[in-house]
Structures are given as structure tokens and as C-alpha cells.
């Protein structure tokens, strides 16, 4: 896998958001976390979030580590860099059940995924691709100018 060095790169930390007008390779590593890639198929800009937990419960800061905050903020951010809501498309990755337990309370991955998909439906943004669930972590790299996302699987992480 060779990736051109001339393109800007950004490593997305859990709980953060990235969207810039320039072309970027945005990479992140996902276990039970979910990343949503929003991309405007007309304007060719996009961004990514990294959801760690489904809902902000009012404790601590309202950071985008929580899905409901992260989805709203990513949408606002891609629109602020020129994307148009009606031409946005989405790709959803992550949400693995890496701990391997079946206990509901611990199924963070599945709950993160459900929340992301529900909010995309609410935003009426079509989901072009998704690779969610399973038992292993993923590493993803999104090209913010082409909307192409590459996914590497098999590495167990949190």
C-alpha cells in the first residue's frame, strides 16, 4: 500500500472531529468506537468523527466523544467548510465487540453503531458503505477529497 506523501495527513484522536477544505488523509483506529465519514459528492469535501460512547449524559464536558454530540458537530463542521446537506453521503465503520462478552451493558460497539445509523437517518444522509460490528478492530483511512475510505481489519484495539 503506497500512499502519496504529498497529501496532508491527520491522525484523528478518539473523541475529536476533523474536517478541512484541503485534501487530507484522515486516519483513525477503531475498536468499539465508531467513525462516521461524511463526504459531499458534489463539492468533494468531507470529514470524520470518532465516537467512543453513544450519548452524553450531562456529565463532564459535552465533547464529541459522545455520539449524539459528535454527529451534530461533524455535520455542522462539514457544512461550515462548504459541503451541502443535500449532497452529503456517509460511510460508517467500527463498533466491534472486542471484549467478546455478550452482556448488554457492555455492547458499546453495537450501541455506538445504532446511534450513528439512527442519526444519519434522521439527517436524511444516505449511507453508501458500512463495515461495522464483528470481533476485531479496524484502522481506516479516508481521503477527504475523493471520499474513498480504506479499511484494514484484524488488529485488536480498544
Partner 1 sequence: MNVTDDALMEELSNRFAQSRKAFSDLSVVNRKLLEMNERLERSESLKSNFLSNIRNEINNPLNAIMGLSHQLTLVCGDNKEIISLAALIGAEAATLDFQLQNIFMAAELEAGEVNPRCVKFHLSTTLKEVVDTFQHSAAYKNVRLIFTANVGSEDVVVATDSTLFQLIISNLLANAIEFSHPGGVAEVSCAIVGDGGIQVTVRDYGIGIATEDQRRIFDRFVQLETGTTRSHLGHGLGLSVAKALVDLLQGTIGLESAPGTGALFTVHLPPCTASDDESTFAESGNLFLFDDMSEA
Q: Which residues are known to be catalytic?
A: 33
Q: Closest Cα to residue 138, out of 150, 120, 129?
A: 150
Of 53-82, binders to partner 1 (CB under 8 A) are 54-65, 68-70, 72-73, 76
The C-alpha atoms of residue 138 and residue 158 are separated, in whole angstroms, by 10
| Least gap, CB of 148 to partner 1 (angstroms) | 5
Paired strand residues for 74: none
**Which residue among 24, 27, 33, 132 contacts partner 1 (CB under 8 A)?**
27
**Which residue among 33, 34, 83, 149 contacts partner 1 (CB under 8 A)?**
149
The C-alpha atoms of residue 50 and residue 149 are separated, in whole angstroms, by 15
Residue 14 neighbours by CB distance under 10 Å = 17
Q: How far is CA 39 from CA 72, 77, 78, in A?
A: 15, 11, 8
Q: What is the dihedral of CA 55, 59, 96, 143, to 10 degrees?
A: 80
Of 85-144, binders to partner 1 (CB under 8 A) are 89, 91, 102, 104, 111, 114-115, 118, 128-129, 131, 139
Q: Counting contacts by CB under 8 A, is residue 35 touching partner 1?
A: no
| Least gap, CB of 139 to partner 1 (angstroms) | 5
| Least gap, CB of 53 to partner 1 (angstroms) | 10
Element (H, E) at 70: helix 67-80
The C-alpha atoms of residue 130 and residue 137 are separated, in whole angstroms, by 14
Which CB sits closer to partner 1, 23 or 118? 118
Residue ranges that bind partner 1, judged by CB under 8 A: 1, 3, 9-11, 13-17, 25, 27, 29, 39, 41, 49, 54-65, 68-70, 72-73, 76, 89, 91, 102, 104, 111, 114-115, 118, 128-129, 131, 139, 146-155
Amino acid at each position: 500500500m503506497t500512499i502519496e506523501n504529498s497529501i496532508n495527513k491527520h491522525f484523528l484522536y478518539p473523541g475529536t472531529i476533523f474536517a478541512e477544505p484541503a485534501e487530507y488523509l484522515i486516519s483513525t483506529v477503531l475498536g468499539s468506537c465508531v467513525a462516521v465519514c461524511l463526504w459531499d459528492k458534489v463539492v468533494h469535501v468531507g470529514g470524520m468523527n470518532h465516537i467512543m460512547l453513544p450519548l452524553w449524559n450531562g456529565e463532564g464536558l459535552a465533547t464529541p466523544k459522545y455520539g449524539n454530540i459528535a454527529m451534530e458537530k461533524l455535520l455542522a463542521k462539514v457544512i461550515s467548510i462548504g459541503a451541502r446537506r443535500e449532497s452529503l453521503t456517509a460511510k460508517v465503520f467500527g463498533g466491534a465487540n472486542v471484549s467478546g462478552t455478550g452482556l448488554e451493558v457492555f455492547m458499546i460497539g453495537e450501541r455506538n453503531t445504532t446511534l450513528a445509523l439512527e442519526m444519519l437517518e434522521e439527517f436524511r444522509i444516505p449511507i453508501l458503505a458500512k463495515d461495522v460490528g464483528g470481533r476485531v478492530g479496524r484502522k481506516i483511512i479516508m481521503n477527504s477529497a475523493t471520499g474513498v475510505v480504506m479499511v484494514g481489519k484484524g488488529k485488536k484495539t480498544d
